[in-house]
Amino acid sequence: MALPKVQALALVDCNNFYVSCERLFRPDLAKVPMVVLSNNDGCVVSRSNEAKALGVKMGAPWFECKALAEQHGILAMSSNYALYADLSNRVIRILSEFSPRHEVYSIDECFVDMTGMPKLREVSYAMRERVMQWTGIPVCVGIGPTKTLAKLANHVAKKHPRSRGVFNYNALTADQKTYLLERIEVEEVWGVGRKLTQKLAMHGVHTVQDLRVAHVPTLRAAFGVVMEKTQRELQEVPCIELQEIQPDRQQIISSRSFGSMVTELAVLKDALSTFVANACAKLRAQNSHAAVIQVFLQTNRFRKDLPQYMPSLAVPLPYPTNDSLEVNRWADYLCERMFKEGYQYKKAGIMLSEISPVTCRQADLLEPETTSNASLMQALDSLNQRYGRGTVKVSTQGAFKGWQMLQERKSPNYTTSWDEVPVV
């Protein structure tokens, strides 16, 4: 019997992805310390190496960084997701030419199965160079026998300049592996967050090596089966499969912080109708329908001086649907039920759950079968795809602008709009 082959999974991760995308079309920013901000220009979501060196923290609220930014001339840009999505797709298609088996893990990370390939190092460098030349996006490659170790190898590739962006855990000897894992903090492990790190420290687990050799029954009793899986992955036993096809979502959330405080019911309803449109379009794209809708409203929790009100209400729908009009009626109703005068709302959103494929529809004995708006929804989706999101939407009260995102520093849609292509 042939021995099971050791997997060679590569995690390809784009370096400072959003910043790298912005720099592709702005060569003048190549060495400028810069960051990209989240929706509403709230928090730092991507940092250039220069900004990291100056001490800008990931996830830091931008208003807290302003003093530092002014002192060092750190440039901040709003996020331009149309641009990032286009470049991400290009990177993934280039990577997919290297292996038929791959999993898109996030907008800037992709697992590539390289099991059985000769000359892994050479192929990895070739992969890195091709992505760089074709798209201008720098990437790092980490190879390991499991996803967790591939992620860790990628971390090593990023941190150590000597690796020149590629690190292969599989090529290490047993001693080298121990030496390496003893020198990495346990919080760098995939799935181990800040809270778990603190809890692990109380059990004397500080480094990755500590976790790898921790007492199994104790670990399972204190942290559950997920942590045990992580440990097995560190011991080179694959427990997390490569997911080549994205499973359908079980929950769809669409929410946004508002550009300014909202006090009127009509404006809230208008915002909600946009969230409904986005969520339902996602439902239809995966050919599903939802059976439960939840609506939530939030005041600004950072403004302790203002009265706080954060209601949330969920109802089961009479029958599962993905019809924007139908869902919007319920969102409207829930919003009216919860809305109270005298509060300044900062955020609202909807969540659709109990999602199942359209083909599994359970007919209702009592509820009359409504002729659905399927073809109307189809027309709506294709119009929005062609002319941009939000071209056609359900309008409750007319188009209010008060709630929309702040994007004061957004770059043009260089690659997705003829009117905004770069000028040379």
Binding site for another protein (CB under 8 A): 27-28, 30, 90, 93-94, 130, 133-136, 414-415, 418, 421-424
Which DSSP category does 161 fall into? G
The CB-of-77 to another protein minimum distance in angstroms stands at 17
8, 115 in Cβ contact below 8 A? Answer: yes
The CB-of-309 to another protein minimum distance in angstroms stands at 48
Exposure string (b/e) for 386-399, b if CB count within 10 Å is 16 or more?
eeeeeeebbebeee
Query: In which element (H, E) is residue 298 found?
Result: strand 288-299
**Cα–Cα distance for residue pair 46/83, rounded to 1 Å:** 14
The CB-of-52 to another protein minimum distance in angstroms stands at 22
If the CB atoms of residues 17 and 414 are measured against another protein, the closer one turns out to be 414
**Cα–Cα distance for residue pair 112/12, rounded to 1 Å:** 7
If the CB atoms of residues 248 and 420 are measured against another protein, the closer one turns out to be 420
Cβ-based neighbours of 273, under 8 Å, separated by 6 or more: 328, 331, 332, 393, 394, 395, 396
Residue 283: closest CA among 198, 216, 211, 380: 380
Amino acid at 4: P
If the CB atoms of residues 245 and 424 are measured against another protein, the closer one turns out to be 424
User: Within its chain, how far is the Cα of 120 from the centroid?
Assistant: 29
If the CB atoms of residues 130 and 409 are measured against another protein, the closer one turns out to be 130
The CB-of-412 to another protein minimum distance in angstroms stands at 11
If the CB atoms of residues 32 and 253 are measured against another protein, the closer one turns out to be 32
- Phi first, then psi: give them for residue 114, nearest 5 degrees: -115, 20
The CB-of-93 to another protein minimum distance in angstroms stands at 5
If the CB atoms of residues 73 and 307 are measured against another protein, the closer one turns out to be 73
If the CB atoms of residues 97 and 182 are measured against another protein, the closer one turns out to be 97
The CB-of-128 to another protein minimum distance in angstroms stands at 15
The CB-of-420 to another protein minimum distance in angstroms stands at 9
**Cα–Cα distance for residue pair 302/156, rounded to 1 Å:** 37
The CB-of-26 to another protein minimum distance in angstroms stands at 9
If the CB atoms of residues 40 and 99 are measured against another protein, the closer one turns out to be 99
Long-range contacts of 414-418 (CB under 8 A, 24+ apart): 414/25, 414/83, 415/82, 415/83, 415/86, 415/87, 416/82, 416/83, 416/86, 417/82
If the CB atoms of residues 55 and 422 are measured against another protein, the closer one turns out to be 422
Query: Residue 122, exposed/middle/buried by CB under 10 A (0-12, 13-18, 19+)?
Result: exposed
The CB-of-280 to another protein minimum distance in angstroms stands at 31
180, 168 in Cβ contact below 8 A? Answer: no
If the CB atoms of residues 93 and 164 are measured against another protein, the closer one turns out to be 93
158, 15 in Cβ contact below 8 A? Answer: yes
The CB-of-422 to another protein minimum distance in angstroms stands at 5
Residue 314: closest CA among 292, 335, 329, 298: 292
313, 270 in Cβ contact below 8 A? Answer: no
If the CB atoms of residues 266 and 421 are measured against another protein, the closer one turns out to be 421
The CB-of-113 to another protein minimum distance in angstroms stands at 20
